[in-house]
Amino acid sequence: MPILPGCEISKPGSTGMANQVVSLPQLIAVNGVKIESPQENRMASVTITVDGQKVEVEEGTYVLAAAEALGINIPTLCYYQYMTPYAACRICAVEARDGKGWSKIVTACNYPVWAGLEIRTDTPRVLNARRVNLEMLVSRCKPVPVLQKLMDELGITEPRWGVGEDTCIKCGLCVRICDEVVGAHALAFSDRGINREISTPFHLESEDCILCGACARYCPTGHIKMTDIEGRILHSELILGPNAAIRVPFRQAIPNVPRVHTDQCIHTKTGGCEICVQVCLKDAISFKDKDKLVEFDIGAVVVATGFQDFDPTPMKQYGYGRYPNVLSAIEFEQMNNAASPTGGRIVMENGEEPRSIALLHCIGSRDESQHKYCSRVCCMYALKFAHLAVEKTSAQVYQMYIDIRAFGKGYEEFYQRLLEEGVNVIRGKGAEIVSTTKSRASEGALSVRCEDTLIGKFREIPVDMVVLCTALEARNDSSDLARKLNISKGADGWFIEAHPKLAPVSTTTDGIFLAGVCQGPKDIPDAVAQGAAAAGQVLKLFSHDELLMDAAYAVIHDANCSGCRICNGLCPYTAITFDEVKNVSEVNAALCKACGTCVAACPTGAIHGRHFTDAQLYAQIEAMLAVE
């Protein structure tokens, strides 16, 4: 067993193993959890001997921790380092001595050390105690793998008191972890003696259970199981990081730091746990932190809020959420990643490799009832999915498309390569996904109905898995952000640039620029290029000590202004404010874009556009109509 972090091993001179001195970091216990303590809170250290090896630990540390620091393994079934030790299984028996003739069999998980203590883990007396305790456990519990392994290690072939049928050893680890750590109190002991058992209160389904799975995770014999999810691949829950409530989202995340997901965190549900707080040596986690608003003075804003994936659930004809092996594009992408729980393998819910896969294009895009626009990237990532499926499986792959839009560099060549790899392409959008009829059930559990427009026939193709190539759509909060930044957005929710050709990254508000898919669907090279262009515009803005204003802007004549404030509410750039002292409206020339909205709306004609007065416009017209 590895040395604990922070331990130092000194080997003075040429002394042997028996004279080693291991210095264990000072530890304190918080709810049974031993964590490194500050220097001012450290207690006195004591030196003990474990199997002839000396180790210096804090007084009160348990024997099991000291032995682990030396790499000495002491078997145990009911120990969990973040709870108060209970010694229910008593398999961790060791012999304690004082060097003066006194000795006693104790349990290592809850026996505190003291100065001069000598521990032996391999004497005949210790091994006999472990055998007796294990045989008593096996007498009422069948030899599940963990018990069978211990029996083999201790040389038990025929237990003296026979073998039981239960799979629970009554260690109570599940009860204690639900009570002390989780704080749900959903499990308890009932009855006593040989009739003792673990159950929910009154043997009824407990409303206090939060389905965290901690009891099943740490049950030493596997008696408790999460029966509904074990052995299943839930594609909608596949993630690229550890499956824990506190995790780094994925390896390339920026910032690359763990984040607590409150919707999965035990503490936010019950107020218990907080193990992460206790073990973090940097005190970087606090559940008492509150959201706060921070103001910054800035000179420019680059809007790069991206997009959101289209949710195909409302399109009932595709059965997303109803059929387990109907996946969205992002779910299939995550499953293919080497960091996913499947290790990059393409598998169905039951863990088996699919025999056939259908990829349906344009789900949510080029659709009159959803989004009329093309999402640009769907065709190419569908072709990539087909290539991955051919590369990783022996499945038949079907592509069902409206038009293949392989518009980029090397894209058409990639499409031709897939045709050579044997991918089946069907020109016709998938219309519906249904369960396969009994006569074709052996070919696949799902049937995709479509029309093949190249041959003019209706087809129904049985497959094991369907991937919906979903559209890119604007974020739900785009309207709110557009209002805060005073920029425009289109009917589809994408932000609108100042000019599609001359100013593709600028907006109608000076100092605010667009980058990436928030401006419209695009692939990665285009998004990167646009991001670089936006950064260039920001640097250009910052390179000048003074900024040039447009010569055209609205002007208000105070003598004619009635103070009606109609212009204040109409200005799309919030460039007009009201002077309460003078009882007139005023224009901020730096914000005004000379759109003319206020000029046309003013009931008294008090506003005119600079360089766009009636006299100037008439003069231009007369000049154009003048005869030389």
State the pLDDT at residue 387: 96
8 A C-beta contact, residue 360 and residue 319: no
106-131 average pLDDT score: 94
- Phi then psi dihedrals of residue 529, to 5 deg: -65, -40
pLDDT at 353 over 80: yes
| pLDDT (tens digit per residue) in 149-185 | 999 999 999 899 999 988 998 888 999 999 999 999 8
8 A C-beta contact, residue 104 and residue 129: no
8 A C-beta contact, residue 174 and residue 219: yes
Contacts of 430 (CB under 8 A, 6+ apart): 318, 358, 360, 400, 448, 449, 450, 466
8 A C-beta contact, residue 167 and residue 142: yes
* Minimum mean pLDDT range among 3-17, 301-315, 369-383, 488-502: 3-17
Q: What percent of the chain clears pLDDT 90, i.e. is strictly above it?
A: 52
pLDDT at 348 over 60: yes
Burial classification of residue 626, based on how many CB atoms lie within 10 Å of its CB (0-12 exposed, 13-18 middle, 19 or more buried): exposed
- Phi then psi dihedrals of residue 27, to 5 deg: -125, 150
pLDDT at 8 over 50: no
Q: Cα torsion at 338, 343, 345, 347 (round to 10°)?
A: -130
8 A C-beta contact, residue 378 and residue 362: yes
8 A C-beta contact, residue 379 and residue 291: no
* Minimum mean pLDDT range among 26-40, 137-151, 285-299, 539-553: 26-40
* Minimum mean pLDDT range among 18-32, 234-248, 372-386, 546-560: 18-32
pLDDT at 3 over 50: no
Structural domains in the chain plus CATH codes: 8-122 (3.10.20.30), 173-218 (no CATH), 308-473 (3.50.50.60), 478-542 (no CATH), 554-625 (3.30.70.20)
> Which token pair is 100?
């003066």
Name the residue among 465, 233, 238 with its Cα closest to residue 349. 233
Alpha helices (runs of H) in 178-328, residue ranges in sequence order:
214-218, 266-270, 275-279
Model confidence band, residue 23 (pLDDT cutoffs 50, 70, 90): very low
Name beta bridge partners: 578. 585
- How far apart are alpha carbons 525 and 447 in whole angstroms? 36
Using alpha carbons only, give the angle 411, 415, 419 rounded to the nearest 5 degrees: 165
Model confidence band, residue 351 (pLDDT cutoffs 50, 70, 90): confident
Model confidence band, residue 231 (pLDDT cutoffs 50, 70, 90): low
Q: Which of 213-222, 258-267, 302-311, 483-492 has the highest mean pLDDT?
A: 302-311
State the pLDDT at residue 34: 43
296-304 average pLDDT score: 93
State the pLDDT at residue 59: 87
pLDDT at 17 over 50: no
State the pLDDT at residue 232: 72
Computed on alpha carbons and rounded to an integer, the radius of gyration of the chain in Å comes to: 36
pLDDT at 25 over 50: no
Model confidence band, residue 120 (pLDDT cutoffs 50, 70, 90): very high
193-201 average pLDDT score: 82
40-53 average pLDDT score: 81
Mean pLDDT, the chain, rounded, equals 86
303-310 average pLDDT score: 95
* Minimum mean pLDDT range among 74-78, 83-87, 309-313: 83-87
Model confidence band, residue 43 (pLDDT cutoffs 50, 70, 90): low
- How far apart are alpha carbons 180 and 31 in whole angstroms? 8
State the pLDDT at residue 42: 56
> Which token pair is 588?
């901020």
State the pLDDT at residue 611: 87
Name the residue among 307, 300, 296, 278 with its Cα closest to residue 523. 307
81-106 average pLDDT score: 90
State the pLDDT at residue 325: 92
pLDDT at 229 over 70: no
More confidently predicted of 561 and 12: 561
Crossing angle between the packed helical segments 145-154 and 124-138, to the nearest 10 degrees: 150
Give this prediction's pTM: 0.75
Name the residue among 164, 212, 166 with its Cα closest to residue 186. 212
- Phi then psi dihedrals of residue 403, to 5 deg: -145, 140
8 A C-beta contact, residue 177 and residue 218: yes
Name the residue among 52, 94, 59 with its Cα closest to residue 73. 94
Prior bond of 255 cis (ω within 30°)? yes
Model confidence band, residue 194 (pLDDT cutoffs 50, 70, 90): confident
Contacts of 613 (CB under 8 A, 6+ apart): none
565-570 average pLDDT score: 91
252-276 average pLDDT score: 88
> Which token pair is 198?
């673990």
Model confidence band, residue 14 (pLDDT cutoffs 50, 70, 90): very low
Per DSSP bridges, beta strands 301-303 and 308-309 are unpaired
Name the residue among 612, 602, 604, 607 with its Cα closest to residue 569. 602
- How far apart are alpha carbons 370 and 509 in whole angstroms? 30
* Minimum mean pLDDT range among 85-89, 238-242, 346-350, 418-422: 238-242
Model confidence band, residue 30 (pLDDT cutoffs 50, 70, 90): very low
State the pLDDT at residue 264: 87
- How far apart are alpha carbons 60 and 113 in whole angstroms? 6
Per DSSP bridges, beta strands 457-463 and 396-401 are unpaired
302-320 average pLDDT score: 94
443-471 average pLDDT score: 92
Q: Is 407 left (phi over 0), alpha (psi -120 to 50) or beta?
A: alpha
Strands (E), 100-214: 103-107, 118-120, 188-190, 197-199
More confidently predicted of 526 and 28: 526
State the pLDDT at residue 228: 62
pLDDT at 84 over 50: yes
pLDDT at 5 over 50: no
